Amino acid sequence: MIQLHDLYFKPYLSAQEIHSAIENLAYQVNRDLKDKNPIFLGVLNGSYMVLADLTRKFNGDCEIGFIRTSSYKGTQSTGRIQLDINLDIDLANRVVVIVEDIVDTGLTVEALSQELQSYSPAALYVATLFLKPEVYNRELRIDYIGQNIANKFVVGYGMDYNNLGRNLPELYVQTHKMKNIVLFGPPGAGKGTQAERLKDKYGLVHISTGDVFRYNIKNETELGTLAKSFMDKGNLVPDEVTIKMLNAEVDKNPEATGFIFDGFPRTEAQARALDQLLESKNSEVSGMVALEVDDEVLVQRLLDRGKSSGRPDDANESVIRDRIKVYYNQTAPLKNYYQEQNKYYGVDGVGSVDQITDRLSVEFDKL
């Protein structure tokens, strides 16, 4: 993910995919015009990369010129066209090709085509690297198209957002910065309850490691079967298996604006594995938000929960205290890991559910 001004963008088309679109466009133009000595008119500023690559692949003689138009401000079309035509090439009785980087509604290219007809060309064609067919609503024929794309705001390969991004060799599409939060806390801190509340409030996906394990084991997935084989022997499930399960959950939600990770990571090694997973998806952990609760409060909460949950580990005070102790021993390095990155946010976990949600929301709003 990259940031240009106030907006975020994620990869959309690779340099190789753009190259293929250029090859397709050049093939069509060569097929029809290689013996016509055409004049290629690049529409500035966006078309400069397209024009350079297209004319390098043109197999005949040609001339090149530039014209300037404008209809966009930010990410939206203004609906008004500004033309700046000051040519030093005579278009009369010549084959002229308007070269665009992208055509969406067609407002600009239609106005430009009508204006250029007054210069009496022998033929006038329109070539665009990308076309958005969902929104193109003009009668003007687009003669040559490199590739159709979805109606999304894109930058790169000559296209910009308020003059930034033109130099990128790939195409990026507008997105939102993902809010990926590790919700942390000892047994009885109330992570599950708060995660369910916060996921709805912020439109995030809640990934509970326990739920993920139970789903995979119950449905006998390949990873679930593998995890169960370790558990049946009394061994810990390797981090590699757990991270693959999380990766599968993340991949199920490609349009998510972010995730709440509950129950993972528990160690520094797991934290590094999570960083690598998110980095592979052009994202990162925004922060660890930790519920901080006194041990005696935790013990009482779990004993109270054990009266209705039926869980034997919630009914024995000695077992509860051991669980809390193990938790702190295992997770102390993890707290340091996020503190060193200025990504640790401690929250008082004592109070009513609403009060704790409000405190957590203060920290979520920062991320």
Task: Provide the annotated active-site residues.
Answer: 191, 266, 305, 311, 323
Neighbouring residues of 194: CB distance < 8 A, sequence distance ≥ 6: 183, 291, 353, 356, 357, 360
Q: How far is CA 9 from the centre of its chain?
A: 7
Give the H or E element holding residue 317. helix 317-340
- List 155's β-bridge partners, or say none: 172
The C-alpha atoms of residue 71 and residue 108 are separated, in whole angstroms, by 7
Distance between terminal CA atoms of the chain?
A: 16
Task: Please tell me the distance from the alpha carbon of residue 279 to that of residue 357, in angstroms, as a whole number.
Answer: 29
How far apart CA 280 and CA 89 sit, in angstroms, is 49
SS3 for 121? coil
**CA 275 – CA 256 distance, rounded (Å):** 17
Q: Cα-atom radius of gyration of the chain, to the nearest Å? A: 29
What is the H or E stretch that residue 98 is in?
strand 95-103
What is the Cα 327 distance to its own chain's centre? 34
Q: Are 64 and 40 in contact (CB under 8 A)?
A: yes
Backbone angles phi, psi at 332, to 5 degrees: -55, -45
Q: What are phi and psi of 120, to 5 degrees?
A: 60, 50
CA dihedral of residues 271, 277, 278, 284 (deg, nearest 10): 30
Helix (H) or strand (E) holding 29: helix 15-33
Is cis: bond before 265, omega within 30 of 0?
yes
